[in-house]
């Protein structure tokens, strides 16, 4: 098994259950601020994004089973982790159509959440509590709108789990892959004096890009969501974990 502070030898294949580590990564035990994605990373939603997309697409006249629907769904899957309004702007072109699609998507996702269709990723709450107990500041971030983020937090009883939660609107409107939410977490919490003492964890390539662009020294991909190991590593993951439950050990919290 590869030790979290070591680098695999050239040509070696990391154990799927252990983190893969980029060369030159600073000691993860020095991390002070941890920014965690929600859906797919700390929250298991069972494919609700695609179900909510179907509702939004039908609202704008895209019929399920059509080539247009298949093409748009493929884009949604490829851009998991990106701000949803940005996705709809790409898919539907003009701002008015994008806003209608986004409103329909958020309403449909919220109804699915209210119907009990989400749950914590196993060990996620415990990992967050362990990190906080060890003095790390933890922030939850999402590509969803605030109303949807609040619905998820409420459904899980996580309203007071962390001191700060962020959506794209909280960071000036730009979600992932921009670094804005990670840097907003730093500015609002003042948890550290260096971006190198930030850890970012998420399940998509957009999470990885956001973390790397923000300068975080630990950008951990997790295998509980949308993208696989290859996609996460290609987007700049410094570590790949089976799930967020492994993050405390990586950061020296046991």
C-alpha–C-alpha distance, residues 250 and 254, integer Å: 9
pTM for the model stands at 0.81
Of 132, 209, 139, nearest to 171 (Cα)?
139
Q: Is the Cβ–Cβ distance between 227 and 221 less than 8 Å?
A: yes
What's the helix, strand, coil split of the chain in %, to 5? 45, 10, 40
The whole-number pLDDT of residue 61 equals 83
Residue 174 structure tokens: 């730009």
Per-residue pLDDT tens digits of the chain, which is 254 residues long: 333 333 333 333 333 333 444 445 568 889 999 999 999 999 998 778 888 888 888 887 888 888 988 888 888 888 877 778 888 888 888 889 888 888 888 888 888 888 878 899 999 999 999 999 999 999 999 988 898 899 899 999 999 999 999 999 999 988 889 999 999 999 999 999 999 999 999 999 999 999 999 999 999 999 998 889 999 999 999 999 999 999 999 999 97
The pLDDT value recorded for residue 48 is: 84
Q: What is the pLDDT of residue 8?
A: 34
- Which residue has tokens 């941890």? 34
* Amino acid 11: pLDDT: 32
pLDDT of residue 25: 53
What is the pLDDT, as a whole number, of residue 84?
81
Q: How crowded is the C-beta side of 34, counted as CA atoms within 13 Å?
A: 30
Q: Which residue has the tokens 């609040």?
A: 150
Return left, alpha or beta for 12; rule: phi > 0 is left, psi -120 to 50 is alpha, else beta: beta
């Amino acid at each position: 098994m590869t030790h979290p502070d070591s680098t695999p030898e050239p040509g070696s294949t990391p154990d799927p259950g252990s983190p893969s580590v980029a060369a030159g990564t600073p000691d993860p035990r020095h991390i002070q601020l941890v920014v965690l994605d929600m859906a797919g990373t700390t929250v298991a939603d069972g494919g609700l994004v695609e179900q909510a997309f179907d509702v939004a697409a039908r609202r704008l006249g895209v019929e399920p089973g059509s080539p247009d629907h298949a093409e748009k769904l493929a884009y949604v899957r490829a851009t998991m982790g990106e701000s949803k309004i940005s996705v709809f702007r790409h898919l539907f072109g003009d701002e008015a159509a994008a806003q209608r699609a986004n409103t329909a998507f958020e309403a449909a996702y919220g109804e699915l959440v209210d119907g009990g269709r989400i749950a914590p990723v196993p060990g996620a709450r415990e990992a967050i509590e362990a990190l906080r107990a060890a003095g790390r500041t933890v922030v939850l971030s999402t590509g969803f709108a605030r109303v949807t983020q609040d619905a998820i937090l409420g459904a899980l009883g996580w309203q007071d789990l962390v001191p700060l939660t962020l959506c794209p609107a909280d960071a000036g409107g730009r979600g992932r892959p921009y670094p804005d939410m990670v840097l907003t977490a730093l500015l609002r919490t003042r948890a550290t004096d260096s971006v190198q003492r930030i850890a970012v964890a998420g399940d998509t390539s957009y999470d990885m890009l956001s973390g790397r662009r923000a300068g975080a020294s630990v950008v951990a991909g997790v295998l509980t969501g949308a993208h696989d190991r290859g996609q996460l590593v290609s987007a700049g993951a410094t570590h790949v974990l089976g799930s967020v439950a492994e993050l405390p050990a990586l950061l020296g919290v046991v």
